[in-house]
Amino acid sequence: MAAKLQGGGGGAAVMAVVVVAMVAGAASGGNFYEECDATWEPQNCWSSDNGKSLSLALVSNSSGSMIRSKRQFVYGSVSTSVQLVPGNSAGTVTTFYTSSLGDKHDEIDFEFLGNETGQPYTIHTNVYANGVGDKEMQFKPWFDPTDGSHNYTISWTPCRIVWYIDGTPIRVFRNYQSSNGVAFPTWQPMYAYSSIWAAEDWATQKGRVKTDWSKAPFVANYHGIDLDVCECYGGDCVYGCAAAFNQGGGCAGQQLTGDEMGQMKWVQDNFRIYDYCVDYKRFNGQMAPELSLLLVVFTAAAAVVGLAGASFRDECDIPWEPQNARFTDDGNGLSLSLVSNYSGCMLRTKKQFIFGSVSTLIQLVPGNSAGTVTTYYTSSVGDNHDEIDFEFLGNETGQPYTIHTNIYANGVGDKEMQFKPWFNPTDGYHNYTVSWTACMIVWYIDGTPIRVFRNYEKSNGVAFPMKRPMYGYSSIWAAEDWATQGGRVKADWSKAPFVANYRGLNINVCECSTTSGGGNSCAAKCASTYNSKSSACQLSDSELARMRKVQDEYRIYNYCVDPKRYNGSVPVECSLPQ
């Protein structure tokens, strides 16, 4: 039986708290009826399951709904589970956020921007401090947020703000206020809010798609409200809350774990679609001040370059058959076509680099892709080249692709490892990442490492790419003489063109060019940079376990266990730990 939430008369009224800061934790799956008031259009808000569940309805362009926690707080975590509006939700905004009151307010946002049926929501995050926001980061969900409930958590401490989805951190905003003057919420008590409202003038595809009001009411469902916070209504309790959350090692004790950092990187590499920090047009060619705190720049032609969601059009050239390439989504999307046995396409980054990670999302050629090869790889130029490969060998309709990996050093390859995918690589996009440091090379698929090749050059004489700057490449080409079932199955050219789609180019590399005079100097600096990172030479236990599972269940060829190929022996590196 549903019960209407009470309309609040200003929440819990402002309490005088003198040097009192109480950390209050609501039980998991807390009660909306007890914890919250309906502060806008209470007739569109109802609770169920004895107050543990909540529904908010958007009835018209001017009649939505909002609830607010009865308690104010400074620091803590707030979370709830939300099932978003299904179907055509264009023009609607569902929210879960924290905010103070009055002018120059502070605010931390989760906003879910609806879309047409079949199109993904946009998960919009932002932070306001002293009334100033403009720190947006947006994501596409890697799940269906309308099919069941998903948990959204905001964690706010004096050191940083973290946004979590289903326990996975998707974004961090650190406190650089005292050291660098970047405003951060530190002293204004906040409430927790949930709401649904109309924003058809901007929310969906920048306002091009309007709300279909014949589908109203639009209903979002919430389950459980968890407030693990330091209750505070202003005054000296602000300092008590700060002290409470700075215990246990201060900011050093509030770092994300290595696994959490890996999870966040995976989300940001694969699903982040907007980051104000790299929107240089918005800031007149400048970067946002806080971004400069994250970049390390070196002299002598070596610089760490980080481009999340970079534009293919801006960052790449097309050195082969440019007529077969098509940019989409303002250059953030790319299609490469194989038109005939001699006419494919290749794209290459403008920047060269030594060490770093490069990644992109790819949707491979669907249907009968036999005889085609789609690639994503890095390579130097010239004789005795270095190269790190992802090659996707097509197959007959209904038969799986072969994921082919290889490495060349000083012009010598023959280090193949192949896998069958544990997913359909033609049904939507999947992320492929090459991570290259002076210690090891790692191939990742959707954040899972599938292979490691370690640097044993000095200790055992195994050649390893160290000194030749590489480019990043993507291509599609014909190889019907060998690609599919050893060349037994040929390409069906009546199905041409064969089209592979790419989305989002992520380059986090140490720039080092053969043409800029950097030479060995920048190579040495790049090696020093990437060896200083704890993750440069060792996978985490979780990553190792995931890699073992992939290799145990999906690896179909490993050059190290092909004794016939090597007359009964195997290469040196095969007997060394990888």
pLDDT, tens only, 157-166:
999 999 999 9
pLDDT, tens digit (0-9, with 9 covering 90-100), for 314-359: 899 999 999 999 998 888 899 999 999 999 999 999 999 999 999 9
Q: What is the mean pLDDT of the chain?
A: 86
- Residue with more model confidence, 278 or 51: 51
> How confident is the model at residue 547, as a pLDDT?
93
Tokens representing residue 436 in the block: 């290259």
Mean pLDDT of 553-567: 91
The CA-atom distances, in angstroms, between 49 and each of 29, 45, 291 are 11, 14, 45
Task: Reply yes or no on whether 387 is catalytic.
Answer: yes
The answer to whether 303 touches 207, Cβ cutoff 8 Å, is no
- Give the list of residues 6+ apart from residue 97 with CB closer than 8 angstroms, or none: 107, 108, 109, 110, 111, 154, 192, 193
> How confident is the model at residue 280, as a pLDDT?
62
The CA-atom distances, in angstroms, between 437 and each of 135, 208, 223, 467, 507 are 32, 44, 45, 12, 14
pLDDT at 8 over 50: no
Comparing 93-102, 217-226, 303-312, 536-545, the range with the smallest average pLDDT is 303-312
The answer to whether 324 touches 514, Cβ cutoff 8 Å, is no
Write out the CATH class of domain 312-571: mainly beta
Mean pLDDT of 296-317: 58
Chain centroid to Cα 127, Å, comes to: 18
Mean pLDDT of 556-572: 89
User: CA-to-CA distance for 476 and 373, rounded, in angstroms?
Assistant: 6
pLDDT, tens digit (0-9, with 9 covering 90-100), for 249-281: 566 567 788 778 888 988 988 899 888 887 767
**The whole model's pTM is what?**
0.54
Comparing 100-109, 202-211, 359-368, 473-482, the range with the smallest average pLDDT is 202-211
Give me the catalytic one of 107, 387, 511, 573. 387
Residue 509 pairs with which residues in a beta bridge?
Answer: 305, 356
Chain centroid to Cα 547, Å, comes to: 20
Give me the catalytic one of 35, 391, 480, 573. 391
> How confident is the model at residue 446, as a pLDDT?
87
Hey, CA dihedral for 524, 525, 531, 535, is it positive or negative? negative
Question: For the chain, how long is the longest CA-to-CA vector?
Answer: 84
- The proportion of the chain whose per-residue pLDDT surpasses 90, expressed as a percent, equals 64
Task: Reply yes or no on whether 511 is catalytic.
Answer: no
CATH of 32-277, one of 2.170.120.30, 2.60.120.200, 3.40.50.10860, 3.30.465.10: 2.60.120.200
Please report, for the chain, the start and end positions of each structural domain, with discontinuous segments joined by +.
Answer: 32-277, 312-571
The answer to whether 222 touches 81, Cβ cutoff 8 Å, is yes
Q: Please, which pLDDT band fits residue 300 given cuts at 50, 70 and 90?
A: very low
Amino acid at 491: A
User: CA-to-CA distance for 215 and 197, rounded, in angstroms?
Assistant: 14
Chain centroid to Cα 482, Å, comes to: 36
Q: Which of 20-34, 233-247, 411-425 has the highest mean pLDDT?
A: 411-425
